[in-house]
Amino acid sequence: MLGGAAVSEIFVSYKKEDRAVAERLVAALRAAGKDSWWDDALTPHEAWDAMIERQIAAARVVLVLWSPRSVHSDWVRSEAHYAQDHHKMVPVLVEACSIPLAFMLRQAVDLTDGKFDESNPNWSKLLAWIDAVHTGDVDAIPDAVSAETAAIAAVPVKAATGDRWLGPASRPRLIAIAAGIFAIAALAFFAFRGALGFDQGAHPDVYVDPIKVAAGPDIQSDFAQVVNDELSAQLNAASRITPLDSDGQRHADAYQMSGNIRTGEGKFILFAKIFAPGIAAPVISPRIEVPLEERATAAKQLATTAAGMLRCTATASDSSGSQITVLPEKAIRPWAQYCQMNYSDNYDAATTRGYLLAVVAAAPDFANGWANLAEETVDGLFQKPEDGDKFRAEIRKAYGKALELDPDNQKGLILKASDLLGLFGRDKSKSLFVPLDNFAEAERLALLANNVRPSDCGCEAIIYGRALAQFGQLDESLTYVRKVIANDPSNLFAQWYLAVTLAALGRDYEASQALDAAQKSWPDSKRLINASVVLALSQRDWARALEIVSKQKEFPGKAELVPLLEAAKAGNAAGVASAAKIMSASISKLDSIPAIPAMALSLTGHEAELVPQFVRLTERYGVDTFKVAWLPGMQALRARPEFIQAAKRANLYAYWRQPNHLPDACKGGSQEPFCKLI
């Protein structure tokens, strides 16, 4: 018990502005004999967040009160995601509103009339639903809303425009310390058969032999303990893997990993071996490295990467969207190599695609193999848009095969949605920048992809969240990003994105809190250090940004960034102008616009230097380039006629004119120039 408060059977999640209706509802529930908890009894002296976490975890039922205010609350959405993922959410509509897309596939009890008594049949429905969830009576729980109905509700008017879900800059890989979009989702599996097959009810047996650590001056005494504890935590977090205690023997009927760690070449090095059932030799023997200067998190990094490779190999999935699969030896070997490449600093799209071609050749009925092959082919398309027709045909063949084998394959659904929108361009077009359409169908597929199967990593959630963000719907995107973090705290891309997006929304205090929390666990993360610079720039704290950048090792763009920050700190307008031109010339050689240089140019009043690169890359890669426009401090870029013209050409205005589809920059009476045209 914490703070003297007992836990209750029902937890009520609501927005503080809806306190009056929440109070009435709780009183009515208690009168009906339902033990309920809400935060009215908390005092400033209590550990507020800890109490909330304790109560929601202990509750058997979570009532989520939806209103025009709560749908925009990060806290309510986070609590709703937790409840939904733990199968104990009962949604209640207390005021007419559009429920967030992530929760539209479940009915909500309509109590908008405010009658919380037996005279209202919906009140009786609520009490029955609470009892059904409490007792686990699945048959008594109201049916889900159909995906088609949910999509129609989400997109009441068919629109014509789009945003990129995938692409070279949208899919950074989860290496040890930089988790990416398509990280591990451990899908369940098995008893080994030695041939391709599916089994919905089994779980893979996974053994991890204690990792041995060689003594050395750079190895702390608890290094081995941290590595092994982290491995155990990572594998136990995968809800459909069954990690077993190792006895030091090789278990031929299970997946297994062994390894040892030493230092050398200025690095911590983990030499690992991963075995698959029925195969005597390792299917992969990865060498995982972390620089010695990152010693604070080296053990966690090594363990995270090793666990990812093992989970990917053992579950035949790098995403939550595949059937439970047992791969034959000819397929499991190239698949394991794909898993290793996916977590490698030496990732190469062509090599990875070669592994997947070998996988589907050996296991043609493996839906997730085809879906991942389609994903890797997207990289080829974005490297050579001029060969778009060839790549589009290959992408469609691969995701079509995946969905033919498994209509619920989440990655296949996302790829199909992206293709329908036109994010891969249109046939006979040499550019990926085309007017986009098919939004109703694309959102229907996105809803399916995010709700059809539970996920250990939330991979599909972040894809859709980033799509919303590229349309300027940053607040909506945070719902999906928080889901990723809840499922995979090691996903540092999601941690980075959360902090940066909160800053872009002007919520600087929350952004700093999110970043501080992430850096407590990952103080060496280059991605989180990057976020620190972004937050400093968003506040025009040139001195702080310069301090952080100056301490970092050389990185692309540092030579151009430092003089600009020095000039801005000194108030040297001529120096800023000179440095801005040099930085723009540097960006002109890149295939994407990096966040920090873009912000530095815009916030110092030199967005004009950024415009040629925005136009160039938009023409080549389409609306994926729009993501730079929603970074913190990019109002000046959005005011440019080039941005408005690009938005018109992509037909984004048709999307924004739909109910509940406004970009956040145009809410609250904003008078940004582009908003006036919506």
272 backbone dihedrals φ, ψ, rounded to 5°: -115, 160
Residues 518 and 649 in one domain: yes
Residues 302 and 358 in one domain: no
Residue (of 466, 162, 184, 202) closest to 308 by Cα position: 184
Answer yes or no: is 193 within a domain. no
pLDDT attached to residue 238 = 62
* CA atoms of 4 and 2, how far apart (whole Å): 5
% of the chain beyond a pLDDT of 90 = 44
Answer yes or no: is 194 within a domain. no
pLDDT attached to residue 546 = 96
- pLDDT digit string, tens, across residues 120-178: 888 988 998 888 887 776 666 765 444 333 333 333 222 222 222 222 233 332 222 22
Mean pLDDT of the chain: 81
Q: What is the pTM of this model?
A: 0.70
Residues 135 and 272 in one domain: no
Answer yes or no: is 150 within a domain. no
pLDDT attached to residue 366 = 93
Residues 166 and 215 in one domain: no
- pLDDT digit string, tens, across residues 221-274: 889 999 998 888 888 766 567 778 788 888 988 999 999 999 999 999 999 999
What is the DSSP secondary structure assignment for residue 144, as one 8-state letter?
Answer: B
% of the chain beyond a pLDDT of 70 = 82
CATH code: domain of residue 494: 1.25.40
Model confidence at 44: pLDDT above 60: no
- pLDDT digit string, tens, across residues 381-392: 988 888 999 999
- Identify which of 44-53, 382-391, 637-646 has the greatest average pLDDT: 637-646
Residues 334 and 414 in one domain: yes
pLDDT attached to residue 43 = 43
- Identify which of 324-338, 392-406, 519-533 has the greatest average pLDDT: 392-406
pLDDT attached to residue 460 = 63
Model confidence at 672: pLDDT above 50: yes
CATH code: domain of residue 356: 1.25.40.10
Residues 276 and 360 in one domain: no
pLDDT attached to residue 240 = 63
Model confidence at 643: pLDDT above 50: yes
Percent helix, strand and coil across the chain, each to the nearest 5? 55, 10, 35
* CA atoms of 322 and 342, how far apart (whole Å): 17
How does residue 454 score in pLDDT terms, banded at 50, 70 and 90? Answer: low
If one counts the domains in the chain, the total is 4
Strand 10-13 and strand 287-291: pairing? Answer: unpaired
Answer yes or no: is 5 within a domain. no
What residues make up the domain containing 435? 158-187+316-470
Answer yes or no: is 152 within a domain. no
Answer yes or no: is 405 within a domain. yes
Residue (of 259, 281, 289, 282) closest to 271 by Cα position: 259
Residues 557 and 649 in one domain: yes
Model confidence at 184: pLDDT above 70: no
pLDDT attached to residue 25 = 92
